[in-house]
Amino acid sequence: MTATGLVESMTKASTAAGRRRGIRWPLWLLGISGLLVLVSIVRLVTGANDITSSGTTGAALRLAVPIGLAGLGGLWSERSGVVNIGLEGQLILGTWFGAWGAYEFGPWWGVIVGIIGGALGGLVLAIATVSFGVDHIVAGVAITILGGGITRFLSALIFVNTPGGGVTQSPSLPRIGTVTLPGSGVLHDIEQKHWFVVSDVAGILGGLITQVSWLTIVAVLLVPLTYLVLWRTKFGLRLRSCGEAPGAAESLGVNVYRMKYTAVILSGGFAGLGGAFLSLVATNIYREGQTNGRGYIGLAAMIFGNWMPGGLALGSGIFGYTDALQLRSGGQSVHALLLLLAIVLGLLAIWSLYRGRRVRAATSVAVAAGALIWFLTSDTVPDEFVGFAPHLTTLLVLALAAQRLRPPAADGKPYRRGEAG
Amino acid sequence: MTSAPAPARDTIAVQLRGITKRFPGVVANRDIDIAVRAGTVHAIVGENGAGKSTLMKILYGMQKPDEGSIEVDGRPVSFSSPADAISAGIGMVHQHFMLADNLTVLENVVLGAEPGGFGRLDFGEARRRIMEISDSYGLGVTPDRLVEELGVGDRQRVEILKVLYRGARILILDEPTAVLVPQEVDELFGNLQELKSEGITILFISHKLDEVLAVADEITVVRRGTTVATVLPADVTARRLAELMVGGELPSPETRESTVRPEVVLEVRGLTVRAEEGRPLLDDVSLTIHAGEVVGVAGVEGNGQAELVDAIMGLRPATGTVRLGDRDLTELDTRRRREAGIGFIPEDRQRQGLLLEAPLWENRILGHQSQRPNVTGPWIDRAGARADTERIVREYDVRTPGIDVAASALSGGNQQKLIVGREMSGDPVLLLAAHPTRGVDVGAQAQIWDALRDARAEGLAVLLISADLDELIGLSDSIEVILRGRIVGSADPRTVTPEELGSAMTGAGEAGERTEHGVAGGPAGGRHGAGTVAAADSEEAGRHLAPGPDPVPPDSGPGADPDLDVPLPGTAGPGLTGTGTTGTGDLANDPDAGGEERP
Amino acid sequence: MKRFDLERFGLGLAAPVLALIVAALLSSIALVISGNSPLHTFNAMLDYGTQPETVVQTVNKSTIYYLSGLAVAIGFRMNLFNIGVDGQYQIAAFFAAVVGGWLLLPGPVLIVVVVLVAVVVGALWAGIAAVLKVTRGVSEVISTIMLNVIGGGIVAYLLDPSRLGTIVGTQQVTTKPMPSDAYLPGIPVSGGEIYGFIVVAIACGIAYWVLLGRTRFGFDLRATGLSETAAVASGVSVRKMVIRTMLISGGVAGLVGMPLLLGGSHAYAQDFPTGYGFSGIAIALLGRNNPIGIALGALLWSFLEQSAQILDLEGVPKEIVTIMQGVTVLSVVIAYELVRRFSLVQQQRRVGAELRAAAGTPAAGEGSPA
């Protein structure tokens, strides 16, 4: 993703190790169970029941969606070889157009208009990068600037004349329906009992099935759908080949330009959907600045997921969780998580030592100690810090996970027809 | 795939008439006429820059000819994209494989022509078809492996499968043996015979005259963008072919007067470079170069030469020691090594040797940012650099209208001359020259050789990496042979022949053949055997020889006659002054592709 | 060479001029759509924008934008994207203001100290992203953006009466204001006062030009940006370059808040302006990373902003200016790319033609008689 080759050289260093196979299922289950137990212990020790409450998990799901959709947008684009830094701008367009569409025509229309708004941003990016060969990152930054400008201008034109609206926000918007799956009540009761592990599981599951917006369900379904399309269809194979070896693709008759255009427009559409979700479901209003960098966090989720939809979803979940804490003023919860961080890092330190990785063990111990001290000497984490919890998490996750990566081989490289051979 | 009956020998599969193609500044193809008979292997030979690549791109639909016509199976055709060529039954196997490393063999093969309905990719059907083709032509392909795991020979077979899968009846092979070792070449030729017997027509582009004579049914010679002659292999010798290719005598790089001085300039001991998985790419290599000496390193590409150069320059982490004169360079970074007096002519001049978008005078500074006349203290000395660039342009005959031109505007040969001039300035004590005349036109090549010879006479030590055996033999005072990262032998250029060298480079031996092509040498090089090539300590050799670090065949020794019966592929013919380079240079990147020579 | 220079100069101008025309066109369309007359709007802006008071404000704003653009451009020349100028200048200005309020030193010395603090803090904040990139391969685009938010959060936390802030007046939380002898005097002109810091800004521009064009370090930097592989082969250590460049970029970013701090507000309050970093990116793109181009870009940018103030009174939403700015950036990057490609092809053609003309005479020394 970066313009210098440093990342290239580092990812190449681990391609042998970071194979496609991924980690196996039993190991995953073991890891998750272990984590659950740890979290439960921390909850009981600190009394911060909110860390696994259905309220938090529900919010986490709600906030993971825009991040995940932005990430999916990034994935579609980068799989075709175009780095989309303009996701934030397309997200912004999605929030505005979603709000306007909902206000004028109704919530689902808002969704559609939001998608179109984002897709238009994608189209502009495609023109700049594919047809004109502008550097991807430069073009993306330009789109983000433009996105902010357009929405502000349009707000000044349209929202200013609406009740409750203004230059930086829209009026209150109609909602999309939600659904609650059966069993939610039972889970809620169990959750209130605050039992070890069982209540935590109940809380998590409860949050995932209570008052889930239809749009959330749509968004979640887009993840396996992305996988199916990209890895099991002709279109998907051709698109991926543009991101891996565009010269080869062109020599076999694939219209690389058209594929890239399609991918980038779709990418914008995903971001637009994410934006619409932000203004219609996660909140019920458009507000300037509400994207708060989620476009970039989405990209981080994509990198975390190694450019695969499954990992992306997991990453979005993690970021969404910290985002939820931030929105629910979870000073206490974040404080409790400090303890969790200290324990996890402590375990990592022991394992690193066992593996002979001294440097990693040392830094883990240092950070763990810092977290522990902070935990012990305070009651809660100040709001301002909680405010950047998702961003800090993003940074940490990227720093720790960035090594074993395999981006598409021709990602970020401008392509010109006839460069094959 | 059903096999059509082999068409009558007289059917013309492909007819090219009067093909002409121009690029800004150069005419790549001029009035090309070729008739390719169906069911045959038709070779097209010519040296680098003769226009072969452009011709093939035209035939494959990647370029349109400015003039002329193409007929396939008697019908006139016009291609505006590779898709058109594919549907006309033409398939191209590129020299630089067009494969996506991160995708499986199956995905690479079916891309663009996937089986399945409603947009779905039918993996089962794809697998079935691939195995069917693979079995009928004996290609031995595994569909579900990632391409990046495959070796070179396997990748080539995937490329061939790709075109057969699309129903190609006419195959174009562009320098297919450039990176193959002899067994792989034999396997390939076997595959080609199979294909021929099924009625497939093959166009075989190469500059390796021995191979061409061995496998082709007809040969067309291209020189300076136009067809010069079409001959039958039975009627020509390699020498005659080379003359046709080159149009006369080439200046030979022969250097016979020794200028070797006793001072040791470069001493490398136990240099090892490992890949991520731990496999040694360069394995315990030691060598010594004296002042005024040119040491050539002969080897098939990919056997560690690039790693050797990188390790000496400090571009790659390596274990072992590198000493320049009495300075130990081992711990120093690249800049310090350059400052110590190493000049570097990189293999890939566009990626490593030049800032393409910068003017020539700034390129002169590149690599020498800490030395006069480019700098004084922390400042760039513009006047100094510009003046020196003018000097280089004069002395090395770099054809350019001025020094403010961007480097990308120059032809490959002139770019290389600039680099050579730059690296020779500043009085280096050691010059690392990696393929210094690759992709360079004939005239520039001669000038570069002259420059190297002159510098050598003044005491410069040179490490010469080249795939051009004549260049190696002609310029070097001694030759080391590298195979699989180890120095496996040495040769005296005064007496060794290209066949001997070639056989040592490739491991000296096919199944069942005795290793009488030269003498087994010692382990890691450094010994200059007198008169003969030391053969490889390869597995093949091991079959006939005593295993162990010093495999010496029983009836060999200094003075044993090398067996010259079978000229091995990969070498130029005996006594030939043609260009036996194993690489078509950077024609792909060079906008004036095919136009190194002036029309 | 004269011919080359003239053509290059012409081409160099062609891109921004072309872009501006396109931008003006598109903005006019936006205006028409929103029911306003483009001519009327541009006229009003021009009128108001050339008033002495507005000109002074424009120049002052552009001083700030100039520094921001320089900071970003240093990174751009090396293909490093320092999107974090925003966070860097805010955290730098904050700590500089804190130091300025608390340290007891004679005025001029205090000013110097304050500026140094700002440079160091900005550099360090950028350095975090550099280290992450060099050691863990984290994309600096994402890390700098994350650091923006984190920096903002840290500043918000510290800007509290119980920590590093104080209350001034009735409600406003701010850092302790600097003493009046540490006010940087402005340059009085008709229409107002120009920030004295403009001198420093111009000096930075000159330093930028000298550093990149005339020093070894600058050569290494530009080489890495043009072709990393060639730079590595020439002995450049990419790791070191990344860190040094980001540190310098962050240091200059730290200066962005200084004109306002030293010549205007004299303290860091909650309403300290944000967003100069993103403008800096746009301006660096506009100015094509060239010190004079950036100056012109900064002037244009702030002219658009300032002259748009009048538009509210004329019934035109002044946010049209943000569209103008956005469209300008986009058209400029496209135009630059087109011109660059055209220029390269032209050069190749010319070289080919000239050499063919020269080789028209026989015995051109090619070595092989036909």
Q: Please state, as a whole number, how many other Cβ atoms lie within 10 Å of the Cβ of residue A31.
A: 11
Q: Give yes or no for a contact between B509 and B488, defined as CB atoms under 8 angstroms apart.
A: no
Closest chain C C-alpha to A402 CA, distance in angstroms: 6
CB contact under 8 Å between A237 and B92, yes or no, is no
- Whether A5 contacts chain C with CB within 8 A: yes
Residue C42's contacts (CB-CB under 8 Å, 6 or more residues apart) are: C24
pTM for the structure as a whole: 0.80
- State which fold the C57-315 domain adopts: ABC transporter involved in vitamin B12 uptake, BtuC (1.10.3470)
Phi/psi at B316 (5° precision): -135, 145
Residues of A in Cβ contact (< 8 Å) with B107: 237, 241
pLDDT of residue C64: 95
pLDDT of residue A13: 37
Average pLDDT for residues C22-47, to the nearest whole number?
A: 84
- CATH class for domain A54-328? mainly alpha
Chains A–C, number of C-beta pairs less than 8 Å apart = 163
* DSSP H/E element including B82: helix B82-87
Phi/psi at B176 (5° precision): -70, -25
Chains A–B, number of C-beta pairs less than 8 Å apart = 90
In this complex, which of B62, B121, B276 lies closest to A421 when CB atoms are compared?
Answer: B62
Comparison of pLDDT for B464 and B580, the residue scoring more: B464
Judged by phi (left if over 0) then psi (alpha if -120 to 50, else beta), residue C35 lies in left
- Whether B103 contacts chain A with CB within 8 A: yes
* Annotated domain spans of chain C: 1-36+319-343, 57-315
Tell the residue number behind the tokens 């992709």, with chain if given: B439
Least confident of A75-84, B347-356, B375-384, B537-546: B537-546
Residues of A in Cβ contact (< 8 Å) with C327: 146, 149
Q: Give yes or no for a contact between B200 and B170, defined as CB atoms under 8 angstroms apart.
A: yes
The single-letter code of the amino acid at A159 is F
Residue A285's contacts (CB-CB under 8 Å, 6 or more residues apart) are: A99, A169, A170, A171, A172, A173, A279
Instruction: Using the predicted structure, report yes or no on whether residue C362 has a pLDDT greater than 60.
Output: no
Closest among B570, B575, B583 to B506, alpha carbons compared: B570
CB contact under 8 Å between A16 and B277, yes or no, is yes
Searching chain A, which residue's CA lies closest to the CA of residue C132? A399
pLDDT of residue A278: 93
Closest chain B C-alpha to A254 CA, distance in angstroms: 6
B511-532: b (≥16 Cβ within 10 Å) or e: eebebbbbbbbbbbbbebbeeb
* Annotated domain spans of chain A: 54-328
In this complex, which of B63, B96, B112 lies closest to A252 when CB atoms are compared?
Answer: B112
Query: How far is it, in rounded angstroms, from Cα C54 to Cα C58?
Result: 6
pLDDT of residue B31: 87
CB contact under 8 Å between C322 and A153, yes or no, is yes
Average pLDDT for residues B86-104, to the nearest whole number?
A: 87
Closest chain A C-alpha to B82 CA, distance in angstroms: 6
Query: How far is it, in rounded angstroms, from Cα C141 to Cα B48?
Result: 43
Instruction: Using the predicted structure, report yes or no on whether residue B115 has a pLDDT greater than 60.
Output: yes
CB contact under 8 Å between A145 and C139, yes or no, is no
Closest chain A C-alpha to C135 CA, distance in angstroms: 9
Comparison of pLDDT for B521 and B435, the residue scoring more: B435
Average pLDDT for residues B279-296, to the nearest whole number?
A: 90
Categorize the per-residue pLDDT at B246 as very low, low, confident or very high, splitting at 50, 70 and 90: low
Query: How far is it, in rounded angstroms, from Cα C317 to Cα C310?
Result: 10
Query: How far is it, in rounded angstroms, from Cα A117 to Cα A95?
Result: 9
Q: Which two tokens stand for residue A20?
A: 């496609």
Closest among B140, B115, B117, B119 to B129, alpha carbons compared: B115
Residues of B in Cβ contact (< 8 Å) with A235: 119
Searching chain A, which residue's CA lies closest to the CA of residue B278? A16
pLDDT in tens, B360-409: 999 999 988 887 777 888 888 888 899 999 999 998 888 888 888 888 88
Categorize the per-residue pLDDT at C133 as very low, low, confident or very high, splitting at 50, 70 and 90: very high
Query: How far is it, in rounded angstroms, from Cα B521 to Cα B533?
Result: 8
- H helix intervals, A357-415: 358-376, 383-387, 389-401
Instruction: Using the predicted structure, report yes or no on whether residue B262 has a pLDDT greater than 90.
Output: no
Categorize the per-residue pLDDT at C360 as very low, low, confident or very high, splitting at 50, 70 and 90: low
Instruction: Using the predicted structure, report yes or no on whether residue C175 has a pLDDT greater than 90.
Output: no
- H helix intervals, B198-280: 209-215, 238-246
CB contact under 8 Å between A399 and C136, yes or no, is yes
Residues of C in Cβ contact (< 8 Å) with A142: 282, 285, 326, 329-330, 333
Maximum Cα interatomic distance, chain B, rounded to a whole number of Å: 76
CB contact under 8 Å between A234 and B103, yes or no, is no
Q: Give yes or no for a contact between B573 and B527, defined as CB atoms under 8 angstroms apart.
A: no
Q: Calculate what percentage of chain C has a pLDDT beyond 90.
A: 39
Average pLDDT for residues B324-336, to the nearest whole number?
A: 89
- H helix intervals, A245-306: 246-251, 256-277, 294-304
Mean pLDDT of chain B: 77
- Whether B117 contacts chain A with CB within 8 A: no
Searching chain A, which residue's CA lies closest to the CA of residue B54? A421
Using CA atoms, how far residue B495 sits from B263, B552, B560, B571, C202, in Å, is: 25, 20, 13, 16, 69
Residues of C in Cβ contact (< 8 Å) with B370: 216, 235
Least confident of A7-11, B559-563, C175-179: B559-563
Q: What is the pLDDT along chain A (421 residues), one digit of tens a residue?
A: 344 444 444 444 334 333 444 556 788 788 888 888 888 888 888 877 778 788 888 889 999 999 999 999 999 999 999 999 999 999 999 999 999 999 999 889 999 999 999 999 999 999 999 998 898 988 998 899 899 889 988 888 888 888 888 888 888 888 888 888 887 888 888 888 877 878 888 888 888 888 888 899 999 999 999 999 999 999 999 999 999 999 889 878 789 999 999 999 999 999 999 999 999 998 889 998 899 889 999 999 998 888 999 999 999 998 898 888 877 767 788 888 888 888 888 888 888 788 777 777 787 788 888 888 888 888 888 888 888 888 888 888 888 765 667 788 888 887 876 554 3
pLDDT of residue A18: 38
CB contact under 8 Å between B276 and A418, yes or no, is no
pLDDT in tens, A96-109: 999 999 999 988 99
Residues of B in Cβ contact (< 8 Å) with A13: 276
Q: Give yes or no for a contact between B407 and B415, defined as CB atoms under 8 angstroms apart.
A: yes
Q: Estimate the share of chain A in helix, then strand, then coil, as percent rounded to the nearest 5.
A: 70, 0, 25
Searching chain C, which residue's CA lies closest to the CA of residue A391? C146
Instruction: Using the predicted structure, report yes or no on whether residue C147 has a pLDDT greater than 90.
Output: yes
pLDDT of residue C92: 95
Closest among C291, C290, C364, C283 to C329, alpha carbons compared: C283
Average pLDDT for residues B83-102, to the nearest whole number?
A: 86
Measure CA B305 to chain center.
Answer: 12
pLDDT of residue B153: 81
pLDDT of residue B588: 32
pLDDT of residue C61: 92
3-class DSSP string for A205-259: HHHHHCCEEHHHHHHHHHHHHHHHHHHHEHHHHHHHHHHHCHHHHHHCCCCHHHH
Q: Give yes or no for a contact between A140 and A83, defined as CB atoms under 8 angstroms apart.
A: yes
Average pLDDT for residues B567-585, to the nearest whole number?
A: 33
DSSP C287: T
DSSP-based three-state secondary structure for B513: coil
Which of 124-183 (A) contact C at CB < 8 A?
124, 128, 132-135, 137-139, 141-143, 145-150, 152-153, 155-157, 160, 167
- List the single best residue of B223, B399, B447 to mutate versus C (max C Cβ within 10 A): B399
Q: Give yes or no for a contact between B421 and B353, defined as CB atoms under 8 angstroms apart.
A: no
Closest among B65, B117, B114, B113 to B91, alpha carbons compared: B113
pLDDT of residue B181: 67
DSSP string, C155-190: HHHHSSTTTT-EEETTTEEEPPPPPGGGPPP-EEET
- List the single best residue of A14, A92, A153 to mutate versus C (max C Cβ within 10 A): A153
Searching chain C, which residue's CA lies closest to the CA of residue B596? C366
CB contact under 8 Å between A232 and B96, yes or no, is no
- Whether B363 contacts chain A with CB within 8 A: no
A236-268: b (≥16 Cβ within 10 Å) or e: bbbbbbbbbbbbbbbbbbbbbbebbbbbbbbbb
Residues of A in Cβ contact (< 8 Å) with C329: 142, 145-146
